[in-house]
Chain A
Amino acid sequence: MQALARGLEGTATAVDADREHHFAAFVAEHRDRAVGLAGRLCGGDTAAAEDIAQEAFVRAYRTLGRFRGEARLSTWFYRILVNEARRYTRWRTLRQRFAGELAAEPEDPAARVRPDPALKRRVTKAVNGLSRGQREVFILVHLEGFTVREAAEITGRAVGTVKSHLHRALRALRAELADLAPAPEVETS
Chain B
Amino acid sequence: MSERDSDRPELSPGDETLVRRVRELLPRHELDAERRVAVNEALDRRIERRRGAGWKLAGAAAATVAVAALLLLGRGTPDPVAPDAPVAPGPSAPLAERDTREVDALLALAETELSPAEDLPEDYEAIASLVWGG
Q: Count residues of B near A (Cβ-Cβ below 8 Å).
A: 55
Q: Is A180 a contact partner of B28 (Cβ separation < 8 A)?
A: no
Can you list 11 residue pairs at the A/B interface with Cβ under 8 Å?
Answer: A4-B44, A27-B43, A32-B30, A39-B28, A83-B120, A91-B124, A94-B67, A94-B128, A141-B9, A143-B22, A166-B9
Chain A positions 50-74 with a Cβ under 8 Å from a chain B Cβ: 50-55, 57-59, 61-63
CB-nearest residue of chain B to A123: B25
Could you tell me which B residues sit within 8 Å of A by CB distance?
6-9, 11, 13-15, 17-19, 21-32, 35-36, 39-48, 50, 55, 59-61, 63-64, 67-68, 71, 114, 116, 118, 120, 123-125, 127-128, 131
**Which of A84, A86, A170 interacts with B18 by CB under 8 Å?**
A170
Q: A54-B42, A170-B15, A181-B17 are in contact. Are A143 and B23 (CB under 8 A)?
A: yes
On whether the beta carbons of B22 and A123 are closer than 8 Å, the reply is yes
Give chain B nearest CB distance to A153 CB in angstroms.
Answer: 11
The reply to whether the CB of A90 lies closer than 8 angstroms to some CB of chain B is yes
Tell me which residues across on chain A come within 8 A of B59, comparing CB atoms.
51, 55
Given A4-B44, A54-B43, A127-B22; A39-B29 close (CB under 8 Å): yes
Confirm or deny: A13 has a beta carbon within 8 angstroms of a beta carbon on chain B: no
The smallest C-beta distance from A27 to any residue of chain B, in angstroms, reads 7
Interface residues of A in 75-129 (CB under 8 A from B): 76, 79-80, 83-84, 86-88, 90-91, 94-95, 98-99, 108, 110-113, 115, 119-120, 123-124, 127
